[in-house]
Structure 1
Amino acid sequence: MRKPPRMYFSLRSPFSWMALRRLEERVPELLERFDYIPFFEPDPSTMAELVARGGDFHYVDMSKAKHLYILADTKRLAGHFGYRMTWPVDVDPWWELPHLAWFKARELGVQREYYAAVMAARWERGEDICDTGTLRRTCDAAGLDGDLLVSAPQDPDMRELGVRALLDVYHDDVFGVPYFKVGRQRFWGLDRIDFVIEELERMTAKAQ
């Protein structure tokens, strides 16, 4: 492949959480081939920089009716897959914190450990991963440097990586997650996992 496949994920989304977990269970050997790109709602500082570079953010808030449906649907899906799930309550969330911390974890080579710890905190225990204290404790409990990771939003380099990721989100027309780009093919949603796997296997066979 000329360009590696891209996987847009979010620490906020239950569908992203379940999709990556399903892929890990079914085709762990293929996950290494993805470029992982976080998708998160920008704060005013990030949004201003994004717009200044000609970007925007495609996601729009959902209606109450859709939100209530998703609450029921995700619990139904989690039960179907046999996943334990506790729906978290987000109060004035700041999504830069956990997502920029993911970039810092990647820099340190511990992004998998970070992701696993944060997803367990959010989706299995229903904790607020946008709270600095909660995120620090989650990281420390996983053997990671909590103080360093929660300081990521104050690091200009991590801020820059966040803006670049959201520019990729914008230019690839990503409007929700999970969202996959494999060659010229694009797939959105948990229910497209089979198609993602088929396309990856087809392109891998073609390249051999």
Structure 2
Amino acid sequence: MTPEHVQTFFTRSDGSYLCARWGRPIVPVVFGVEDATLRVVKGAIEAMVTLAGHKMAETDPELGANLMVFFFREWAELPQVPNLERLLPDLAPLCARLEQAEANQYRFFRFDPDGAIKAAFVFLRMDDHLAAIAAEDLALAQAAQVICLWSDRAFAEVSPLARVEDRVILRPDVAGIIRAVYAPHMPVVARDASHALRIAARL
């Protein structure tokens, strides 16, 4: 993979380059699913954390849980969730925009002072498209998209997953980038495209 290819994963719509990784252990919590699906989602997150060589924990000392995944039917449900407005400012107008756009997913990140990912929120509106995806595949795709701060265009047209015969796996190029981003001597946040050269050298 060339540095130019790597660069596309972290170059945003405005042309800026930004890559960030988690700086603290990940503590997930999942809302709106049955126990069986809960285990699938947490299993996918654990697999992604293991791939990255990062850590999970039972609790975050500041936030309690720092990766929140919400499954629901309509965007209008979210403003009714107690205290969610405190975590996501302007929640009601955001949900109105997402509903108007007929969006079925949205991710929001918060960052520590050093630029590392502090918390992530994943919202999945289970429309017909998402409901048709196997829970294991949906969970793996979402885990891949929150383990790093990717470009807003990185997976807009191509999934981070690939089908190999009768199995769905994380794409090898995406897996390699995740491992490289989390390499011990790599920065927790990078805003210069030369960072892509360092990633490519590790692939």
Q: Considering the TM-score relative to the shorter chain, is it more than 0.5?
A: no
TM-score of the two chains, using structure 2 as the length reference: 0.34
TM-score of the two chains, using structure 1 as the length reference: 0.34
Identify the structure with the greater helix proportion: 1
